[in-house]
Amino acid sequence: MTILKSYFNTPYNTAPFSKIKTEDYLPAFKTAIKKAKSEIDDIVKNSESPTFKNTIEALDYSGEELDRLSSIFFNLNSAETNDAIQNIAQEVSPLLSEFSNDITLNKDLFKRVKAVYNSKSDLDLSTEQETLLDKKYKGFSRNGANLSEDKKERLRAIDKESSQLKLKFGEHILAETNKYKLHLTNPTQVSGLPEGAKEAAKQLAESKGKKGWLITLDYPSYIPFMTYGDNRELREKLSKAFGSKGFNNDDLDNQDIVLKIAKLRFERAQLLGYKTHAHFVLEERMAETPEKVNTFLNELLDKAKPAAKDEFNNLENFAKDLDGIEQLQKWDSAYYSEKLKQKLFSLDDEQLKPYFKLENVIDGAFIVAEKLFGLKFEEIDTIDKYHDDVLTYKVTDTDDELVSVFYADFFPRAGKRNGAWMTSYKPQMIKNGDNHRPHVSIVCNFTKPTKSKPSLLTFNEVTTLFHEFGHALHGMLANTTYPSLSGTSVFWDFVELPSQILENWCYEEETLKLFATHYETGEVIPMELIEKIKASATFHEGMQTLRQLSFGLLDMSWHGVDPSNISNVKSYETKAFGNTSLYPDVKENCMSTAFAHIFQGGYSSGYYSYKWAEVLDADAFEYFKEEGIFNKTVADKFKAYVLSQGGTENPMTLYKKFRGQKPKPEALLRRAGLLK
């Protein structure tokens, strides 16, 4: 079957999307799992004594076809899904969970791994090999290898149920997003909206056979309305619809799912001998313990809260003076913040958007990557894509050697979840002397071109593109031997460093002059606007920091405690937000029921890592600023010690090799304007 291959007879061994039928997936998964099991059996039944090569290395290279198949399928389930794919995902996820448990709970396999681990002092291993051995051993010991048989069976049941619940959680959010349409027919209802947003809403209405304008919960539709829509009642309506996803006591409700996931995670951690899920997760993070995470978040909260309160009071007074608003609500936040920003800095996104045509911003990211890391991007049409919107590139180095294949998917559609992310269709590894290069993808939800305008990005969308492209560079420049240590396979609170550091270039004149040109006139962005971008960079930074900290603290409140007695998701969440809330609570809304990062994605007990990585990226970028933002020596060190190394060594060791010192939190506070 075409789909069941780790190597396809295609250009650059790319996925043959157009040749794969949906009905191929399930039988392919069953066959791939069977083959992967056979590879595990070969390791277990090897009559030779366990060695690093015949056990640890063989284990890491096993299941290659299953991994490739999973990458293709689950990436499509996020970016181009449908009912059939979602049904297959519900059927396949328990099979994969069971297979994973078959490995970690395999006594004979663990015996071999343990034998190698216990003799590691006698082995002449490289740093990467030592890291792999440690990771493999912990993969067993941390996931039930030492449990009794009855507890192993319970662990299997927990993992099976959890995998299905996570999928169902995400399906509900996508369905909620897709079903909501705010149909407006009176021009006064779209008062304040930029012409581009109005045109997009009109085109969407026309595509559905309606007159007027359609506003949806997709970010490119939702955010402009919340930022510019003059009609406060409609902003409230839209805000409540957005904030109530998974919280409507209907067949798409996620409240029970949230409670079940939290309780299953806690039970699993307890089975394995950990106090809570957070204790289990953080053992393999830079932060190490929930106590350290909570201390980190609360120390930042102490710094940010006074600034946030001042900013909120100023915003509330501004709204009162401008429109007589007595009580600022959540649906007023973006609207009055934008108006205040315009007043303070004479700057708004509509002024900037003409200079950020999507194609130019993509080119800008490529130019930055070339100047820093010697990469060249060539758009190609010789490889398959899963949707016509997807752009495909061949990435090469200064010697014209292939570095990576790169996919970019920028516009919202019904089969794609909201947000932005980076992923991989094929990992990098060195096997049998061959350096297998990765296939990397970024997925975003930007404003689509209209009949009269190309896709013009807000400045926030520009930084989002650079953020995801930073993750992509981490994947592309991977240069490790073993697939499980390659690219973004690093401690979760280190993974955001490459993405967040790249955002810094968006604020620099030297960068903006390379690509920020007016889409009609070709004029380079005026220095005056660049100065305004820099001046407004810390606008409402206190409130933004408080918001991020509230998400991190909510995550820790779900996963750093015993959730057994929690029965009401909303009231529990309200309590968790107690120390970070500025706006009045909205009883119809609940964040947890749509908090996909922690209940669907991989950020449970890890949301703090965005702020953690901000400390790293602010400190790292100060190094670039000291030497020059395109300084080749600093860039080479960042590539050598961060981007290429994946998870081969402790991240703090790698960071210190790059920076020459531990990161200093003061750099973040300086950048945020919170250091008095």
Helix (H, G, I), strand (E, B) or coil at 63: coil
**Cα(194)–Cα(53) distance, rounded to whole angstroms?**
61
From CA 182, how far away is CA 320, in angstroms rounded?
28
The answer to whether 306 touches 297, Cβ cutoff 8 Å, is no
Question: Residues 318, 303: contact at Cβ < 8 Å?
Answer: no
Q: Catalytic annotation on 468?
A: yes
185: three-class secondary structure by DSSP: coil
Separation CA 72–CA 307 (nearest Å): 45
Residue 489 falls in which region: left (phi positive, over 0), alpha (psi -120 to 50) or beta: beta
Q: Is 409 exposed, middle or buried (0-12, 13-18, 19+ CB in 10 A)?
A: buried
List the beta bridge partners of residue 442: 408, 422
R_g of the chain computed on alpha carbons: 25
Task: Name the one residue in this structure whose structure tokens are 């959010």.
Answer: 173
Phi, psi of 84 (to 5 degrees): -65, -45
**DSSP 8-class letter at 4:** S
Specify whether the CB–CB gap between 3 and 69 falls below 8 A: yes
Report which of 365, 372, 380 is spatially closest to residue 444, judged by C-alpha positions: 365
Q: For the chain, how many residues are written?
A: 676
The residue annotated as part of the active site, out of 65, 338, 461, 468, is: 468
Strands 391-396 and 376-379 turn out to be antiparallel
User: Do 510 and 368 contact (CB within 8 A), yes or no?
Assistant: no
**Torsions phi, psi for 439 (to 5 deg):** -115, 115
Q: Report d(CA 98, CA 91) in Å as an integer.
A: 12
Residues recognised as catalytic: 468
